[in-house]
Every structure is written in structure tokens, then in C-alpha cells.
Structure 1
Amino acid sequence: MENPMQKDNDFALAHVADSHRKGFWSMLVVMMGFTFFSASMWAGGKLGTGLGAWEFFLAVMTGNLLLGAYTALLAAIAARTGLSTHLLARYSFGEKGSFLPSFLLAVTQVGWFGVGVAMFALPVQKVTGWNLHLIILVSGMIMTFTAWFGMRALTVLSFVAVPAIAVLGFFSVGKAFTDFGGMEGWLGLVPAEPMTLFAAIGICVASFISGGTLTPDFTRFARSTKIAVITTLIAFFLGNSLMFLFGAVGAAFYQQADIADVLMQQGMIVWAMVILGLNIWTTNDNALYASGLGLSNITRWPKKILVLINGAVGTLMALYLYNNFVGWLSFLNTMLPAIGGVLIADYYMVRKASYERLEKSSFVTIRPVAVLAWTAGVLAARYIPGIAPLNSVVCAMAVYVAGTSMIAAFSPSTQPKSL
């Protein structure tokens, strides 16, 4: 009997059908819309007030190169298999073991959604004087409604939002340079409270490590591996770098880490509300979409219903999540990168870049070696000096490969094709 979930155009519990694969431009705007997020501008603002211009460029280029390499590896897996992050996790973590990464990733995406709603509502309330809770409620409902329609809505919205955000960002940077002496003025600024290069790179990577780990949820729709990898590299290396630049220039000159405050000082608050609203809208829809896929893997409920539930939860918790953003970023920095490390190690190093289709695979319930590798990655991010997300990914990969090799050596007869 045909699985009814296979009729779902978002393929929450199945391989993406060839008929629903997308070309370069559709994938590019979706991925750029995902990475064009105000939180990245906020993080860029932090770097702009803590680093000189050259140190900023070095930190952002290094951080986003690492992030781009990580996400490109995941993008290639998704394009070849047509599977989401959560379904890919069944091969490495086991059928019920995949609930662990699905839950962690879904919860963080609901959190990002709430942060985004508050980041839009607060400056609107400051300008208009409208009731803050009403703005949060209405904007959260609108964002949730469009996320209901899945990839089609994400594509259409991104085609509008991505160029608009880029125009506003470059205009803001240009105005800042005009008002404060151009690039020479930025080069001459000395941070009042400098941060270390390692800390800056860590912030850059952590700013989108949760989104990066969920890259397969979107790139599984790519028509080819080449399209998936190239659009992902552009989005995470170029797109995310632009967001950092837009936030950093304004923050360095105006000493405001919040891009909305910078735009207010530049006299562009009306356009800022419109464009920043589109900016947050695209990423929030991606976040809700991904969280719905994660919880669908756990509950087997339709993704659309879970999108509505997650949108309601994120909206109601928006102010709390916004006020605890730094703590949330720290959580992401330690809990999520190891998941991607396990997925990468399983596909490329253990399975030799070959997965059987879901319907032909017989999954174990839980694979302890994956849970152990994830735990090792979390501990590495927390306790090993250096760039925490990178430590987490590398450690998780090493432990996973070593663990599966030991199991195969001592119990070769227990290793079926699907592990």
C-alpha cells in the first residue's frame, strides 16, 4: 500500500520525488533567504564593536568558510538521497535514536522563530507605540500561516525578500561610509572592548550552526548535487558574510549592535521595518518548516499541523527567547554541531557515500555509537579550547568512525548493510 505521506509535496517522511526537484535559481533564493537573517546582523554588530576592520574580515571569512564547508557536505548528502536531516539521522542514530537530533533541532528552530518575531516586533513598537504583545501575536500568526504552504511559499517569499534585503543593507553601509569617512574611517576605529579572534570566529560559526545542520531539509529538493553544493556555499559564505558586514559597519560607526537602532539613526526606519520584516519572515518560515519536519519524524503527525503548533509556541515565548538570546546561542554552540558531524561521518566515511532507500532499509532502534559520538562532540565544544563548533564536529566524527570500526572489528557478523 502506498504511504500517504509520499503524497505530501514536502515529503516529510519520504524521499523527494524527481518531479519536485528544483533548479539553481529557486534553490539559491531559498538558501539566501534562509541565511539573510537579522540575528546574523546582530552578531555582526557585536563583531563590529569588538574588532578592527581587518580583524573583522578575517574572522568572518574564516568562520563562514568553515560554515560553508560544513553545510556543503550536508547539502551534497541531501541532494543525492532526497532526504531531510531527520530521515538521514535514521541511518546513523537508528530509527528511534533519530528522535534525539530531531527533537534538539526542532526545539532550536522554534526558538529562532521566537527570537525573530521579537526582533521584528520590538523596533516596530518603538516607532509606532502600538501594543507590543499585539504586534508579536499578529506577526507570528502571519509568519506561521505562510510556513504552512511549505517550499512553494518559501521560494516565492525569498524571490521578493532577498534582493530587497541586499539593497537596504548596501544602502545602509554606503550611508555609514559617507557620514563617517568611508573605509579609511572604519580602518581608523579602535574597539573600546576588543574581543579575541577565536571568540569572533566562534560567534560567526555559531550564528548559523543550527541552520547549517538543517541544510538537508532544503537542499534535498535540488535537481543535482552541484546545484545543492554551489547554492549552499553562496548562501553560507557570501550571504551570511553580507549579513555580518551590514551589521558590523553600522555598529562600528554608530556603536549600536542592533541593526534596527542603526537604521533609525540613519533616518530609514520606515523602509527598515518593511525590509527587516521580510528578512525575518523568510528565515522564520524556514525555521518553522524545519521544526515541523523534525517533529514529524518523531510523532508521524503531518508536518503542516506541527508547523501551526510550533508557530504558536514560538510566538508565545518570543520575548523570553529574545531576552535570553546569548544563552540560546551558547546552547546552539555546544549541542548541535555534533549532529552534523555524525551525519557526515556516517555517509562519507562509514557508508562510502551510499545509502539504501528508506523502504529497503531495516533500521535498528538505537545506535549507541552515534549517541556516544554526539555526546563526545558536545563535551568537546564545552571543554576543549578553540572554536567550539569546529571542535564539536571534528570530535563527533572521530569518535563515530572509531566506534563503528571497533564494532565491525569485534562483531563483523552483526553488521548488516543498514548497520
Structure 2
Amino acid sequence: MGLLSRITASRIAETAGTDPAASGPVSTALYNEDLAPTKIAGRRWRAYNIFTLWANDVNSLGNYTFAIGLFALGLGAWQVLLALMIGAALLFVLLNLSGYMGYKTGLPFPVLSRISFGIRGAQIPALIRGAVAIVWFGIQTYLASVVFCVMLIAIDPGLSALYRNSILGLSTLGWICFGVLWIVQVVILMYGLEMVRKYEAFAGPIILFTMGALAVWMFFRAGGSISWSTGSELSGAPMWNKIFAGGSLWIAIYGTFLLNFCDFTRSAKSKKSITLGNFWGLPINICIFGIVTVVLCGAQFTVNGQIIKSPTDIVHAIPNTFLLVIASLALLILTVAVNLMANFVAPAYAIANLFPKKLNFRRGGLISAIIGIVILPWNLYNSPVVVEYFLGGLGALLGPLFGVFIADYWLVRRARIDIPALYSPAPDAEYHYRAGVNPRAVLAFAVAGAIAVAVAFVPELAVVAPFSWLFGAGIAALLYYLIAERHRDYRAVSGESIAVSSTD
């Protein structure tokens, strides 16, 4: 196992504030430039950049489908808003905890995972997160390609002839649209996270304006009067159950992001940037999102007594071709922005972490994008079994992973991390544990994961199924903390990381 040059070792020392030699040799099997802690000078993410991440992600088509679904369950306008705000308040707290971890250490998610799972065991959370992201990357690209096809056919109806055949489950026009969007996303990622930051900053205002304009248009289309419920509004205990279930599911939607938010906050200028970006991007932005959802649903219900499934239903009904094209372009810009941040960055780091000596962030991203095509995601999306059991099962494991991370970093280690040891293969290094795997973290994760999956899928537990993420995260955090308290040797930390200015 080869050692890095003195220059590489100095790079880690400069960022982490400690001497790598104190933890033994630093290995190329654990390190490359993309997996190294972010230098202070390279941190360009401000509060606005964090805000635009959420401006894009919160307003994703999937989130609108979820929020609109709350209406279909019998919740009225104020109840839907309350459910979303409960989730937003908890997300604000949890994402600050997750974000601060990335800011303090400057580490990407797979390397940060080494703290609790070990230098080898970290592959478990990284690959679970990466697998979920790769599948959703393909699915989201496919859904965006459908919008792209509709837009092109609106411009040139003759293209509809290319939309009727099927090649491996996708039409000729579908393949063209999917391929164009795939290439656009890969090109953006090839320029690194800095280009992702710029794209998110560009896309955020566009989608906020577009969704606001759609809400205003629908309000006037409904004659200035909208329905505040579907007429079958719940009350009493069933109502409160749906409200809290909606808030819990809103958190579960962000289960992936709760894990790898550090991939972005490792480049944050300060803790204040994260806090302000999260404040405007989560509770404030989600409140606006909820109001837009209420207006879109209520106006459509007033117009024809039907509940829309997604904002795309409204876009496709725009009578003016020019405005339909503009709205469709905005949705394409949005979907690319969401896909980049939620489903492209994570697997790029996860794959690079498998073979750091051979793969970097860009190569990892390209490999994950290729897998996103090979799996033929449109066929997966059309299979309820795959979406519900495969993605649902993996999703249920995200809560326990988060619980272990939070308990280990904040409660057990009290944010004191020996960063150079994260790149050391030495048997006596801090995060070597047993053959590079922390059995205590694996045990807590396995037990809590089994419970979370059971809560999510066992029919007899259907009433608490929406709370599976919270159950998994809470049980994993408690179990890991109790195990660590019993074995206090795991609390020995060689020093506190100084990845950022101590003035914060």
C-alpha cells in the first residue's frame, strides 16, 4: 500500500490542523484530491447558495406530487401547511447538525462515514446512499425527458410520430430527449462542484418565479376563489394522524440529503452561511411551497372538481404554445438542478471512494451516469414492486444510518475528530477498529434497520409506517450511544479537527 508524497500529507495537515504522521501512514487506497478535506481558501458556498439548493429541491415535481397527495388523503389547506411546517422545523434542526459536520471537517460523505463505520466499513453507508441516488438519477432524467418530449411536440406536432414506437421501452423521441438531458448533466458535473454551485444559483430564481406565476395564473383562472379542501376533510384523531404522518414523511423524503449534505457544506464559508441558507431555504421556502401547492390544488378543484397529480398537469394545459414552452423549460431546468444535487453528487463520491487511487469525483460521476442508463430507469419507474420494495427498502435504511452518524459525531465524540487518521491504514489508527470496520456501528445499524424495514412494510404496522424513518434514526442513535457509553475506549479521540477558522 503506497504512501502519499510529502506534498499530499501537507495538504491534509494544512486543512485539518494536525500532523498526519501522528496517526501513521496516509494511504492512496483511502485518499485522493477529491476525497481530501476542503481547503479554507476553496470555500465559496454562501447562504444564497445553500438557499438555492433548497429553492430547487423543495420545489421538485416529486415534492409537489407528495404535497398534492395530502389533499387527496382528505387534509384541508391549513392542515397540509401544518404538516409541511412540522417537517420543515425538524429538517431545519437535523440539516443544521448534518451541515455543521461537513463545515467543521471539510469532508465528503464517504470519508465522514469512516468516523463511525471505520475506514472500510464506510463503504456500507456510501454505497447504500449511492445506489438509491443512481436509480433516482435515471428515473428523474426519464421524467424530465417526458416533459422535454411534450415541449418538442408542442413546438412541432410532426415529432409525435417519433413518440409512438418503442425501443427497449422508450420511444425514439424519448431516447433523444433522455440522451440530451443525460449529456447536459454529465457535462455540468465534469466541471466539478463549483459548476454545480453556479447552476443551482442560476436555477433557483427561475423555478421560484415559474411556480409563483403558475399559482397566480391558476388563481385568476379560478375566478379569484379557490377551494380550501376537497369536501371530504378529516377531523379529530384521523386528521392529526395524517398531519403528523405527513410531517414525518416530509423528513423521510430528505433522508438521502440528511446523510450527504456535508458534500455541499464542506465548501461553506461559515456556519452562519449554513444556518441562514437553511432558514430561508427550509421553513420559509417550504411555507411558500405549501401556499403554492394549496393555490394550485384549490384552483384546479374549483375549475373542474379534480385534484391535479403534479404541476406538469397544469403546464400541459396551458393554451398558449409559447407560454407552455417557457414553463416546460423551467421544469427541465428545475429537474436537472434537483438531479445534480440529490442524485449525482453522492454516487460520484461513493464510487470514487471505492478505488481512490484510480477514480476521482468526475470518473465516479461518469460511471454512475452510465449505470443510470444501463438500468433502463423508465422500466423501473413503471414497476411498482421496484419502486416500493427496492427503493422503499433502501430508503428505510437511511434513518438508521443518520442515527448512527449523529450519535457518534455529536454525542460520543463531541465533534472532536482526528482527520489525518481517516486516511491511515495503520492497525492502531483511530478509525481502523476491527479490520477497518466498526462492529458497534454495524450492529446498531443492522438492528435499527431491521426494525425500520419492518415498520415500513409489515401490514399490521401500517398505522405507524409513515414514521419508519424517525423510528430507525431514533433507535439507531440510542442503541449506538448506549453501546459506545459501555465501551468508553471508543470515546478516546486524539485531537480536535481544526478545518475552519475558530472564530465561528
Verify same fold: TM over 0.5: yes
Q: Which residue of 1 aligns with 2:120?
A: 96
Report 1:257-296 matches (<5 A). 257-267=309-319, 268-286=323-341, 287-296=343-352
Describe how 1:24-63 pairs up with structure 2 within 5 A.
24-50=47-73, 51-63=75-87
Equivalenced residues, count: 412
Paired residue secondary structure (1:187): coil
Aligned residue among 104, 113, 118 for 2:142: 118
State the match for 2:493 in structure 1: 417
Structure 1 residues 203-212 or 25-34, which shifts more? Answer: 25-34
Q: Give the match for residue 225 of structure 1.
A: 271
Of residues 148-157 and 199-208 in structure 1, the stretch that sits farther from structure 2 once superposed is: 199-208
Aligned with 2:407 (options 345, 358, 362): 345
1:243-299 CA-to-partner distances (Å, cap 9, x unmatched) read 455455434525221221122224443122110111011121222122111221222
What is the 5 A alignment of 1:197-276?
197-243=243-289, 245-247=291-293, 249-252=295-298, 253=300, 254-267=306-319, 268-276=323-331
Structure 2 counterpart of 1:185: 226
Letter of the 1:379 partner, please give it: A
Deviates more, 1:151-160 or 1:381-390: 381-390
Q: Pick closer, same or farther for the CA change 1:188–1:344 going to 2, 3 Å.
A: closer
- Retained in 1: the 8 A contact 2:416–2:493? no
In the alignment, which residue of structure 1 is the partner of 2:25? none
Work out which of the residue numbers 427, 448, 459 in structure 2 matches 1:377.
448
- The residue that corresponds to 1:297 in the other structure is 353
Kept in 1, the 8 Å contact 2:110–2:350? The answer is yes
**Distance change (3 Å), C-alpha of 1:176 and 1:415:** closer
Match of 2:107 in 1: 83
Q: Does the CA contact (< 8 Å) of 1:158 and 1:282 recur in 2?
A: yes
Counterpart of 1:284, as a letter, is: N
- Residue identity opposite 1:53 in structure 2: A
Q: What is the alpha-carbon distance in structure 2 between the residues aligned to residue 78 and residue 188 of structure 1? A: 42
Q: Greater CA deviation, 201-210 or 396-405?
A: 201-210
- Give how far 1:24 is off: 2.7
In the alignment, is the contact (CA less than 8 A) between 1:251 and 1:262 conserved in 2? no
Listed one character per residue, the Cα deviations across residues 112-144 of structure 1 (whole Å, up to 9, x for unaligned) are 211211121113324513511221122112111
Which structure 2 residues correspond to residues 354-365 of structure 1 after superposition, within 5 A? 354-359=416-421, 362=429, 363-364=431-432, 365=436
Query: Which structure 2 residue ranges, 5 or more long, are not aligned?
Result: 13-31, 154-159, 163-172, 301-305, 456-463, 496-504
State the shift of 1:336 in Å: 0.8
- State the alpha-carbon separation in 2 of the partners of residues 318 and 293 from structure 1: 21
Which of 380, 390, 400 in structure 1 is aligned with 2:480?
Answer: 400
- Say if 1:341 and 1:394, in contact at 8 Å, map to a contact too: yes
Kept in 2, the 8 Å contact 1:46–1:251? The answer is no
Q: Letter of the 1:373 partner, please give it.
A: A
Q: For residues 315 and 78 of structure 1, what CA distance do their matches in structure 2 show?
A: 31
**Residue number in structure 2 paired with 1:3:** 8
Which residue does 1:390 correspond to in 2? 470
Tell me by how many angstroms 1:191 deviates. Answer: 4.8
Q: CA deviation at 1:398?
A: 0.3
SS of equivalent residue, structure 1 residue 185: coil
CA distance in 2, matches of 1:335, 1:214: 14
Match of 2:18 in 1: none
The 1-side partners of 2:229 and 2:115 are apart by 52
**1-structure distance, mates of 2:147, 2:294:** 19
- Taking a change above 3 Å as real, the CA distance of residues 246 and 198 of structure 1, as seen in their structure-2 partners, is same
Corresponding position of 2:382: 323
Contact 2:412-2:491 at 8 Å conserved across structures:
no
Contact 2:76 2:233 in 1 (8 A): no
Moved more, 86-95 or 317-326: 317-326
Give the ranges of 4+ consecutive aligned residues of structure 1 lying more than 6 Å apart after TM superposition.
Answer: 4-7, 192-195
Distance in 2 between the 1:41 and 1:55 partners?
16
Deviation at 1:147, TM superposition (A): 1.4
Change (3 A) 1:198 1:371: same
Offset from partner CA, 1:145-174 (integer Å, 9 cap, x none): 111212221122122211010011111112
Aligned counterparts of 2:10 and 2:136: Cα–Cα separation in 1: 27
Larger radius of gyration: 2
Two-structure CA RMSD over aligned residues (Å): 2.8
Deviations 1:193-240 (A, max 9, x none): 998234322332222221232111101111112212331343333345
Structure 2 distance, partners of 1:407, 1:320, is 48
1-structure distance, mates of 2:252, 2:143 = 18
Out of 133-142 and 259-268, give the one that drifted further.
259-268
1:311 equivalent to 2:366? Answer: no
Check conservation: 1:381, 1:389, Cα contact below 8 A: yes
Distance 1:163 1:40 in 2: 18
Specify whether residues 294 and 238 from structure 1 end up closer, same or farther in structure 2 by C-alpha distance, changes over 3 A only: farther
1:41/1:343 Cα in 2 relative to 1: closer, same or farther (>3 Å)?
same
Distance in structure 1 (CA, Å) of the matches to 2:316 and 2:262: 37
Distance 1:279 1:191, change over 3 A: farther
Structure 1 pair 339/72, CA: closer, same or farther in 2 (3 Å)? same
Q: CA deviation at 1:341?
A: 1.5
Richer in helix (by share): 1
Helix, strand or coil for the counterpart of 2:267? coil
Deviation digits for residues 310-355 of structure 1, max 9, x if unmatched? 1122234331343347526633541112212111111110001211
8 Å Cα contact 1:43/1:244 also seen in 2: no
Alpha-carbon distance, 1:47 to partner: 2.1
- The C-alpha deviation readout for 1:326-385, integer Å capped at 9, x for no partner, is 526633541112212111111110001211223576221000111122223323333453
Instruction: Extract unaligned runs of 5+ from structure 1.
Output: none
CA drift at 1:19 = 0.7
Instruction: Choose 237-246 or 264-273, whichever is displaced more.
Output: 237-246
